[in-house]
Structure 1
């Protein structure tokens, strides 16, 4: 079963489109990055741990609240309007995967070909594995699959581990405007990359505009 999540993308130049919807897999949650985010996180944590035994609930509640708060704070710093989080464990273990939706103004008025040229370089430390044009919401969009390595220090400030982050980006022109809706999905676990990329493609391809 999948669930539809929606959010507003309202600008003076895009009044024809007031909303979009994207399908969420079971175990995923959407947190709009507005003034109610802290309350949404609190309610989400309560809902997710409600049916657990008391000792496990007491152990999991603060961890989940801390992880969700950190993810939402990071998404807000990057100008996101929605964060999508995998919050339910699979086989007793959390699935480290997330999505960020950002509205980028003034970047969708060029051709997809020019966008492809810009995105092809990837950037420092970023390996572009796939780049091309796909169909999203009945129109052409750009999809990019990249990987990069990130150093994560341990709790004692030591060198820690090096993680390989797999990321799928969808650059979707917003109808009636010069903006883009950027959908970014990622996982920091290299072994989970291939199956999660398939899931990310389904999620990104499910986006639909809702007319006002």
Structure 2
């Protein structure tokens, strides 16, 4: 079998992909900013301008943060009527475990993970044609950070986060992390917040490697 060259996911209606390695500005203008320019006519002009400025600041900050974390793609909801407070990033991550993928996944699932939530137990899940480790935990947002996306309020104090880590098939040493964050409605245990988490898990059931 040859090594995977990429991946694909099926997005919910109203979501957009922003590539982070090339074509970022074009994708932002076409897929995100142009959509929020088409707000309903009943929205007051000053309110619409403030909303557009907020979306630009938020998404551009998310792009910078995702790039620093090795991001490949950023996914955000851009439905203007009622944007969802959620987002997820696909990133290439350094893999420091000297083990075959199956053994490394088992060690990850036992609790090892870099970054926020270290020590949180993981679980093995089937993703694409292989296995991944999934974590779910509460993460604290940095000062001024919108951890979830265009629909989130500024400075969200915490978010529910879900992360999948999986090896790239037939390409030793290359791993991906797919990370989702949402503050939900401010209650991290509410049905609404849970529904946004479930939506991301549903997207991950569509994950496929491309060759």
- Band of TM-score, shorter chain: 0.7 to 0.9
Equivalence for 1:63: 54
Alignment deviations for residues 57-109 of structure 1 (CA, whole Å, 9 cap, x no partner): 544433322222111111111110101112225xx443211101012254574
Q: What is the alpha-carbon distance in structure 2 between the residues aligned to residue 150 and residue 57 of structure 1?
A: 26
Equivalence for 1:6: none
Q: 1:170 aligns with which of 155, 164, 170?
A: 164
Q: 1:185 aligns with which of 180, 189, 195?
A: 180
SS at match of 1:119: coil
Equivalence for 1:5: none
CA contact (8 A) 1:41 1:65 kept: no
Q: 1:116 aligns with which of 109, 122, 126?
A: 109
CA contact (8 A) 2:128 2:206 kept: yes
Is 2:40 the counterpart of 1:52? yes
* 1:124 positional shift: 6.5
Q: What is the alpha-carbon distance in structure 1 between the residues aligned to residue 93 and residue 107 of structure 2?
A: 16
Q: 2:28 aligns with which of 32, 41, 55?
A: 41
Gaps of 5+ in 2: 146-153
Q: What is the alpha-carbon distance in structure 1 between the residues aligned to residue 116 and residue 73 of structure 2?
A: 26
Q: In the superposition, relative to structure 1, how do residues 119 and 196 fare at CA in structure 2: closer, same or farther (>3 Å)? A: farther
Give the TM-score of the pair, scaled to structure 1. Answer: 0.75
SS at match of 1:17: coil
Equivalence for 2:127: 136
Q: Which has the higher strand share?
A: 1
Q: What is the alpha-carbon distance in structure 2 between the residues aligned to residue 132 and residue 123 of structure 1?
A: 17
Q: In the superposition, relative to structure 1, how do residues 132 and 164 fare at CA in structure 2: closer, same or farther (>3 Å)? A: same
Q: 2:16 aligns with which of 12, 19, 29?
A: 29
Give the TM-score of the pair, scaled to structure 2. Answer: 0.75
* 1:170 positional shift: 0.8
Alignment deviations for residues 3-26 of structure 1 (CA, whole Å, 9 cap, x no partner): xxxxxxxxxxx9531121011111
Q: In the superposition, relative to structure 1, how do residues 164 and 40 fare at CA in structure 2: closer, same or farther (>3 Å)? A: same
* RMSD of aligned Cα (Å): 3.0
* 1:181 positional shift: 1.5
CA contact (8 A) 1:126 1:146 kept: no
